[in-house]
Structure 1
Amino acid sequence: MTMFTQKILMLCVLSLLSLQNVLGVHVTIGNNLAKNLDLTVHCKSADDDIGIHLLHHRDIFGWHFGSSWIGQTRFYCSFKWNNELKWFDIYVQSRDLHVCDSHCNWYIIQSGPCRMVDAIEKNAQCFPWNSWNK
């Protein structure tokens, strides 16, 4: 490969990486808890605190962020309803980037968070809650 071809290839790779960072990722979280329960959500990353949000049954909220070039973007959230307090890594770049691309849509049920694979809820991929012992 010639030096010119290498430089063009490197320019293309850097352009794609910067485009991903500019376009970024949009995460949405919906409250699908049974019995019309309210859900309090608090999401953070190492750099950002998204704040505390109260979601009534079937409410959603979301936020937008640029992902890291080195693949280390991570957002974790606490979820509280009634006397339950759970947490989950709602966005892990290495896990989610190629699954949800630029839109990661989640809904929360008592047994854990579910990531929408498409527009049909029954096709969601559900995860267990994170352990407090980590």
Structure 2
Amino acid sequence: MVINKALLSTTVLATTMIIVARPTVQATVYITNHLTKKILIVHCRSKDDDLGVHAVAVGATIHWSFGQNLFGGTLFWCKLAVEDKRIIFVAYDQGVDDVKGDWYVRDEGVYGIHNLTFLRAAWTRP
């Protein structure tokens, strides 16, 4: 069998260009404050991005969108605070979540929007 080196090299180059040119999948995370009359303090970050500290009013939602890592591993975690209580939880994990993370923050803790009976994280006191 004779391998045409020019054809092989062109095929490898074309495949590489397709992989590099592949558009990234956009993911979005939503965190909604459903606390009883309390401002929620939210600070989220990933390995590469710090989204800063935000005050979220009752009934309001904070959200952000980002491109997923081509090879997997996109992870965002958040620190939530209200009065003297804290929660740290994973808001988005590319290996577990799809392209959307929806969270309700309630007086008992953080819940996934698709199943309000599922407690993702409970409040703690420092």
Superposition TM-score tier, normalisation by shorter sequence: 0.7 to 0.9
For 1:96, what is the secondary structure of its paired residue?
Answer: coil
Alignment check: 8 A CA contact 2:109 2:123 kept: no
Q: CA RMSD in A?
A: 2.9
Structure 2 residue aligned with 1:26 = 28
Q: 4+ runs of 1 displaced by more than 3 Å? A: none
What does the per-residue CA deviation read over 1:94-116, in whole Å, with 9 as the maximum and x for residues that have no partner? 1102xxx3x32211113332222
Among 113, 118, 122, the residue aligned to 1:126? 118
Q: Percent identity?
A: 26
Match of 2:8 in 1: none
**1:18 Cα deviation (Å)?**
2.9
Partner of 1:115: 112
Give 2:6's aligned residue: none
Secondary structure in 1 aligned to 2:97? helix
Contact 1:89 / 1:130 at 8 angstroms: preserved in 2?
A: no
Structure with a larger share of its residues in helix = 1
The two structures have a TM-score, normalised by structure 1, of: 0.70
Q: d(CA) in 2 for partners of 1:111 and 1:91?
A: 20
The alpha carbon displacement at 1:89 in A equals 0.6
For residues 14 and 126 of structure 1, what CA distance do their matches in structure 2 show?
Answer: 38
* Mapping 1:1-134, distance limit 5 Å: 14=19, 18-19=22-23, 21=24, 23-33=25-35, 35-97=36-98, 101=99, 103-117=100-114, 123-124=115-116, 126-129=118-121
Q: Number of matched residues?
A: 112
Query: Can you give the 5+ residue segments of structure 2 that lack an aligned partner in the other structure?
Result: 1-11
Is residue 71–residue 93 contact of structure 1 (8 Å, CA) maintained in 2? yes
* Aligned mates of 1:114, 1:18 — CA distance in 2: 34
The unaligned stretches of length 5 or more in structure 1 are 1-6, 118-122
Question: Structure 1 residue 130: deviation in Å?
Answer: 7.5
Q: Give the letter for the 2:27 counterpart.
A: V
* Inter-partner Cα distance in structure 2 for 1:64 and 1:27: 7
Structure of higher CA gyration radius: 2
Kept in 2, the 8 Å contact 1:78–1:88? The answer is yes
Offset of 1:37 from its aligned partner?
1.1
TM-score norm. by structure 2 comes to 0.73
